[in-house]
Structure 1
């Protein structure tokens, strides 16, 4: 075993007393060695094995990946899954129409026959976690013809995972997948065996006036008053195994589900969250923080601000477009506001000086201990970040303005069909070839695509892109704009929609009557899409050597930080693997003269109500319950209805929907956001600022019981 791995093992197995109580996204197999003594000191009443046990059932078995980027938890013996409203938002939207607007009105299945299937939605359980560091490193040594970044390559590592578990095993166990993830920049590896269920049905969701109350204005802010939750159910075959949707499937009987506590929370109470944080950069150097601020974040804010203004104008003027673009708008604004907040807080919280201090400490330590490779790593990272700045700007503008911003940049190119047609030398598409084209068309031109919106946005974003990127660095379609349309972007975009088979349904139907290869080859939107993708490849290839060098330098830099820290436990950056974070229910004092308590109540919803602002509409039913104080058994001791609370736990994107547990491991809420001031926790956790915003389980139960009158769901739950 390499010396670096030995050193990592030593600090991971050391006592935890030197680490902060509320910082960290901790790896579950190491809780007993790293965390449990301090967790007990903070008030934890259960054992480490109750949270995670490698060979027995534990709380870990009730925590799932919901979809592709959220967390959920099992809350009943019949497979009910609780997650955020914003995590289920796109599926609620898919079932919505102008005549049946579930986003506005909410949805509650009265029985299991009314539960709605969601094609493409999955729920993933983690069956097993294994340290496979030695295995991976030995395989990398044997791979003499591999790529230089195999040690970080998802494809390469997942192939190793399949090799380790065996293809026969996977064939005999439908729904089982395996993945290997790198930790500490590729200094350590874990393999995760997962069970993936694809029959997931929507059971209940409050109206957006509850589940999305405050919308963009309140997003990333505290205090909040949002009932951000939705409920789904996992179905399985008769043996409890994953199976495609079928009316014959039955509700999953899970290994573990959460007990719910309505006993409430107090300031300084111990809490813990388990979930799947997506991405953090705790080991950034100062140069990388500056790059994140000036390129990734700044360009995202600039481009999305323009796109969102145009999108919102259309949404507010047309109910159909509001439903079509609600999910797209929410996704866009979330990252936009996060990036904007991070840039502000990088300056306000002196994030660059903090990282400079950490870097300086490593330089001093490495010189003292004769470790010149760590100084070299810092110099390499700084040099590469500076030298790639122009390429990174081109890449970010291309991605944000053209690929994400303009929907028709993702039209199918049908290259496979064209190549086959050329070989056969036929001009008219065969029935099988036309079916392939049809599938691509329907995927792009789906029920949530509005060409008039895309056209308007495209004109604005292409003009912005042309202002920011010099002529010699633009995609090739700009030559067409300059030569054929005299530089007039509006005329060019109009022509794309007027001439492409993807411009409107009538043009596609006309193509179907005469489906020739020439039409596919010469389609103007396809030419645009190919041009964007070609430019993306060119930039990616130009950055490739730098990416290899900087990844190697980052791995060395992280190794140096770990060695310098000695016996101090250090958690790895988030990589969408299951983690535990813990801390206390804690108020927030984000700035001079501003003091916020740790909870909010339904009083605040009524105080914020604005019937003329779609973000702050309050439903008559909720106002009626509030007026009567009809809160059932869910009110606080003072008679008020709790809504949200905050804790100083360390979370990030991907933790949305994470179960918030008390000292007994009971569910007391679900995490759904962070505060604006704590966004820089992705780079450097700071206890003063970082808070996880949670929906109180009492508010969730109140909405289910009193608002939705869905008491049949409560009968499935174990409520204390």
Structure 2
């Protein structure tokens, strides 16, 4: 009995019980069957139909995926006003910034709709409906079917379902696998392409605490930004045009100024990106020792070099602000995840689950025949991971590392056209490359990129054996005696792709011989050729891994057939529910569930890049000018914690009270539970949220953008 209890609760099975009701990323379309009763017992006053409905307006109609799931946003007015995180709008804020208009440093506020800034390429997607299509997908599948044949059948049927769902509409649709290929759902979306920047606080509020406070509690960060979605005069999606009008959503969230108390009900809706709660002990070991180690080793060097350049001038800081933020976030995440997985002994716990599963499967000849090879298939896929390890380091050090390789590889189409002497294709590819020059060189510094390239090549060389290295490493080894700095210096001297004027001149009259002699381009060809070879080798074991994982989860669902399983996150809309609350991270430490503006002031380090405090904010604090946004205790709350189950992609998600009102915006998780994407920790896992009253106070009192407050629905 004790063993079963450990497996059920302590070993992080993906099963909902009342003891850990806050765990789980649930499909909103299924809560009427799985969760609504429990949610209402915890304080929800809404019905399931008020949360998710196809025919009537519901909460789902106010929740959007930004850029198809990189972040979440919520509609907070009838005029298409979207609230999300500052770090979700960071790229756009940075893109619009310059030395003359430094919106990162000073903030940006559109006082009229005419002042709102367009963002080509940015999208907002609304979920139209969800449909279980499992029966249609698996109708032609058999247990004996080879993996490739099975996969081809699934893809063919998925395409047919998607096509039927979107025929004669402007919608787009995706059939997505859930529960490791044991369930399939159709998701239909309406995607808008005219999304304009409306407002953002200065970095000293929106990114207060910087890398130091990232993933930490207590927090005092006003992590929010505002956008507006526009549509054509007919109300349908349209590309940017001055004739477009603000979109009128089916539902927008009312905003509560009433605050919250400990143990109050809280739910989060959004688009969580990826979790791996079903990952095996073998997979977790690989994540810790290969994926995370490669990321940590490479990004530590890259971030150090970028930071030095950013400190050289205002222009440099603007150029590399977004790049540094993106790289830093999951660098620190990987460190924290390894620490959390070790501290919580997750591998050992997973092994116990696997042993319990094997015992159950082998206790019946029928189950043994169906599930007996599941763990064996998974284990065999991780027996030799040299290919995978080389791939991880290649991606981190040369694909995502220096920019020169990925950028120059973009000329491969032109290169092939020149080799074929296809002048029409040559012209088309050259013109396409010209359109990319502004975006690339605006935020590029060749000297910094060269330093990154040399440092990361050395990291790759120190961690990957010669048979898995790109061809040009032989030249570095023999001609340059292993001196990566010397090779990179020569490469940057002998490439077009680090110098805009030379590249533009070449694109006006492209020659094959020029690309054949370009060191950066030829090195990029070697890198991506190796990436392709390694990818092919990895696919040889992928079939066994995916088959084993599908059978393992199917067996677990049969083993615990009276329990509710939730699927891993995969950038589809999910709902999580829980409560506002504090936590005890370690002996002798008890964290409150909220912070106030006093703590923001206490953290001040004048002139510091992370902890500088704006003068106007200090003036408002000293005057205690909080207006209608003060809590009942007289303070201005800045952030608070709940035990909602979130991950990347949930950034910007609304935190909603039992009445369906907005009380905060989710923006982070806590350091003590960084293992959460793999193993949920109910005692420690926290969702860190910016208080909506701090958001409105910043817009109103700090920025004076009362025009935005006026269009919101405020509940006092």
Q: With structure 1 as the length reference, what TM-score do the two structures score? A: 0.93
The answer to whether the Cα contact below 8 Å between 1:236 and 1:252 also exists between their aligned partners in 2 is yes
Greater alpha carbon shift after TM alignment, 505-514 vs 708-717: 505-514
SS of equivalent residue, structure 1 residue 386: coil
* 1:380-428 CA-partner distances (Å, limit 9, x unpaired): 21222122x21221111101111111111102353333333344477x9
Greater alpha carbon shift after TM alignment, 515-524 vs 114-123: 515-524
User: Displacement of 1:21 after TM fit?
Assistant: 1.3
Which residue of the partner structure matches residue 98 of structure 2? 97
SS of equivalent residue, structure 1 residue 189: strand
- Structure 1, gaps ≥5 residues long: 1-14
User: Displacement of 1:514 after TM fit?
Assistant: 4.8
Which residue of the partner structure matches residue 554 of structure 2? 559
State whether structure 2 residue 378 is matched by structure 1 residue 381: yes
User: Displacement of 1:316 after TM fit?
Assistant: 1.3
- 1:420 paired residue among 395, 408, 417: 417
SS of equivalent residue, structure 2 residue 383: helix
The answer to whether the Cα contact below 8 Å between 1:16 and 1:35 also exists between their aligned partners in 2 is no
Which residue of the partner structure matches residue 399 of structure 1? 395
Q: Flag the 1:374–1:305 CA change in 2: closer, same or farther, 3 A.
A: same
- 2:184 paired residue among 174, 186, 189: 189
For 1:514 and 1:131, locate their aligned partners in 2 and report how far apart those are by CA, in whole Å. 54
Which residue of the partner structure matches residue 658 of structure 2? 663
SS of equivalent residue, structure 2 residue 528: helix
State whether structure 2 residue 108 is matched by structure 1 residue 107: yes
For 1:289 and 1:511, locate their aligned partners in 2 and report how far apart those are by CA, in whole Å. 48
For 1:674 and 1:18, locate their aligned partners in 2 and report how far apart those are by CA, in whole Å. 22
CA RMSD of aligned residues (A): 2.2
Q: Flag the 1:432–1:603 CA change in 2: closer, same or farther, 3 A.
A: same
User: Displacement of 1:16 after TM fit?
Assistant: 7.0
Q: Flag the 1:322–1:139 CA change in 2: closer, same or farther, 3 A.
A: farther
The answer to whether the Cα contact below 8 Å between 1:496 and 1:503 also exists between their aligned partners in 2 is no
User: Displacement of 1:432 after TM fit?
Assistant: 4.5
Q: With structure 2 as the length reference, what TM-score do the two structures score? A: 0.94
The answer to whether the Cα contact below 8 Å between 1:158 and 1:178 also exists between their aligned partners in 2 is no
The answer to whether the Cα contact below 8 Å between 2:409 and 2:525 also exists between their aligned partners in 1 is no
For 1:201 and 1:143, locate their aligned partners in 2 and report how far apart those are by CA, in whole Å. 52
Q: Flag the 1:413–1:60 CA change in 2: closer, same or farther, 3 A.
A: closer
The answer to whether the Cα contact below 8 Å between 1:413 and 1:530 also exists between their aligned partners in 2 is no
SS of equivalent residue, structure 2 residue 577: strand
The answer to whether the Cα contact below 8 Å between 1:16 and 1:37 also exists between their aligned partners in 2 is no
The answer to whether the Cα contact below 8 Å between 1:124 and 1:197 also exists between their aligned partners in 2 is yes
Aligned ranges for residues 6-405 of structure 1 at < 5 Å? 20-68=20-68, 69-138=70-139, 147-148=148-149, 150=151, 159-165=159-165, 168-169=167-168, 173-174=169-170, 176-370=171-365, 371-372=367-368, 373-387=370-384, 389-405=385-401
Q: Flag the 1:218–1:474 CA change in 2: closer, same or farther, 3 A.
A: same
* 1:474-498 CA-partner distances (Å, limit 9, x unpaired): 0011122234433321121112211
- Structure 2, gaps ≥5 residues long: 1-14
SS of equivalent residue, structure 1 residue 615: coil
The answer to whether the Cα contact below 8 Å between 1:62 and 1:255 also exists between their aligned partners in 2 is yes
State whether structure 2 residue 451 is matched by structure 1 residue 435: no
For 2:419 and 2:300, locate their aligned partners in 1 and report how far apart those are by CA, in whole Å. 44
Q: Flag the 1:571–1:146 CA change in 2: closer, same or farther, 3 A.
A: closer
* 1:194-234 CA-partner distances (Å, limit 9, x unpaired): 00001000000000100000010000001100000000000
* 1:432-476 CA-partner distances (Å, limit 9, x unpaired): 553244235555x33111111101111111112111122222001
User: Displacement of 1:660 after TM fit?
Assistant: 0.4
For 1:152 and 1:94, locate their aligned partners in 2 and report how far apart those are by CA, in whole Å. 43
Q: Flag the 1:352–1:519 CA change in 2: closer, same or farther, 3 A.
A: same
For 2:470 and 2:235, locate their aligned partners in 1 and report how far apart those are by CA, in whole Å. 51
The answer to whether the Cα contact below 8 Å between 1:151 and 1:186 also exists between their aligned partners in 2 is no
Q: Flag the 1:433–1:228 CA change in 2: closer, same or farther, 3 A.
A: closer
For 1:592 and 1:197, locate their aligned partners in 2 and report how far apart those are by CA, in whole Å. 49
Greater alpha carbon shift after TM alignment, 75-84 vs 605-614: 605-614
Which residue of the partner structure matches residue 462 of structure 1? 457
User: Displacement of 1:318 after TM fit?
Assistant: 2.2
State whether structure 2 residue 625 is matched by structure 1 residue 630: yes
